[in-house]
Structures are given as C-alpha cells and as structure tokens.
Structure 1
Amino acid sequence: MKVFRLACLATLMAFSYKTIAQKADPLTFNGAQATEKMYRAIYQLNSEEEKKIKSTLKNIQNALDDPRLKGKLQIELIVHGSGVALYMNNGPYQAELRALLDNGVILAQCENTLRERKIGKDQLWPFVSFAPSANGELIIRQAEGWAYIHP
C-alpha cells in the first residue's frame, strides 16, 4: 500500500510540474537570471576558417556584453589544430584578440599543436598563453565546472 501511495504521489507531482511548465508565458520570459557570483566558460576553436574564427570571437564578445554577466564572467579561449591561425602574429586578428585580452579573456594555445606543426611560440602574438594540450585543458576546466562552448 505504501508503494502504491508513493507511486501515486510521484505521478501527481510529475503531472503538476508538467502543467505548471505548460502554463509559462513565453511573452514574459526575459532569459535566465544570473544568480551566481561567478560564471566561467571555456571556448574551443580548432578551425582556420575565417567564418568560424569570426563566429567564435563574436560569441565570446556577446557573452562579455551580456548585462546579466557583467563583472561575473571569466572566459578562456583554447585554440588547437587548424585554429592556431587565429594566434599567428602575421594574421589579421590582433585588434580583436587585444580587445578580448583587455576584457580579461585568457587566450591559450595548445602546445601539442605547435609541436606537431613545427610552429615556434615566437610565431604567435606575445600575449598568447599556453596549455600542454587542448583536450587536457577542456577536461580539467569542465571538471572544475566551466561551461564548454564550441561554436
């Protein structure tokens, strides 16, 4: 009898939750509320395609510009594989990268990529930081609770 009552109660709770969720008015929704003291996100870039690079940089800037996250956001951009094109010091992205850096974004490059592609650190912008591996960085950051974004 006790099991039956628990099952009935669980069914009633699930039905009530679904009914409440269905009654939410999408016209009054204003987005999630930023109630935490700090939010952390790691963005991954592994493409040299200009469209993908620009999209990633724009996504990061959009997060930085979100008024709910002002003063509450830490971002890291980890680059590996073909994405190394973003950090090459002969590339066109210095101004965008400097703007992100000025906003506290960590700009990190995978050292495995440099080794595999025989690229020297001196070929990258001097403000780029390094991580032993992008995959390791992603694993560690996610375990620390960072949001993972791969635009």
Structure 2
Amino acid sequence: MAPSLSAIAQKADPPVFNVARATKKMYKAIYQLNSDDDKKIKATLKNIQNALDDPRLKGKIQIELIVHGGGVALYMKDGPYQAELEALLNKGVILAQCENTLRERKIGKQQLWPFVSFVPSANGELIIRQADGWAYIHP
C-alpha cells in the first residue's frame, strides 16, 4: 500500500530559504502613488525608507517616486509631508509629479514644493523606467 500524501508531507524536509543577495552594483526602483489617502501615502513613504535602510542595498539603490492622480496631495505645499519629502530628497530619491494630473486638476506647479520634478505623464514614466529595467513598486 502506498503512503498517504499527509504522511509524505510530514516526512519532507522544509525547503531551504536563502535570502536574496544584492550582487549587482546598482539597483533602480520606481514607486507609484496615485492616492490621497493618508495611510497609503505614509505606507509608500515607509516602503521607500525601508528600501533605503536595507543593508543589502546601502549605496546601491536609486529610487524615484512618481505621483499622479490623487497622490498629488503628497507634494502640495499646504500638506503635512514636507519633512518626510526633504529627508527622502536628501537621500537621493527623485520626487516626480505627472503634469497631466496638474492640468486635469488645474493645479499650478507653484502650489507644489520647489524640489519636485515634473514628467509629461506618469504612465509614460512608468513604461520607460520599466523598459529600462527599473523595479516597479505600487504599495
């Protein structure tokens, strides 16, 4: 009589886990934010900070945060995120805003922090960065 599947599963050794190693000289990641929800904004900022703090990636990562749609709230001067944005900027994170969103929402560039960069479209930026090998992250 053949052993049951549960008997085989109990005898099998658990798979060996090997943590990913950062063997490349440089890694690139683009994070997308298209929500004005404070929890999503904070989660995105935290995710970026976690990547920057990962000891495997120290000095080996370039990050861009592309914002569009409701995410424009992150970059508004009247918003509460200036300190977090400046901290990321000081760590080399590119902070980019979709110009389509600004036109559609009738928001002037002067309403955003002066350290924000602009791209014609967030979708175009995502397409180009991914084609160039950037990891795409949408928390």
Instruction: With the length of structure 1 as denominator, give the TM-score of the two structures.
Output: 0.82
Please, which of 22, 25, 37 is the counterpart of residue 16 of structure 2?
25
CA distance in 2, matches of 1:67, 1:75: 15
What secondary structure does 2:100 align onto?
helix
**1:109 aligns to 2:100 (yes or no):** no
* Pair 1:130 & 2:118 matched: yes
- Aligned residue number for residue 108 of structure 2: 120
Residue 24 of structure 1: how far off its partner (Å): 3.8
Runs of 4+ in 1 over 4 A off after TM superposition: none
Deviations 1:12-71 (A, max 9, x none): xxxxxxxxxx76424xx4x20000000000000000000000000000000000000001
SS at match of 2:115: coil
**1:98 CA displacement:** 0.3
Corresponding residue of 1:58: 46
Q: Which residue of 2 aligns with 1:11?
A: none
Query: Which has the larger Rg?
Result: 1
Which residue of structure 2 lines up, in the alignment, with residue 150 of structure 1? Answer: 138
Taking only the aligned residue pairs, the percentage that are identical comes to 81
- RMSD, matched Cα: 1.1
How far apart, in 1, do the equivalents of 2:135 and 2:50 lie?
15
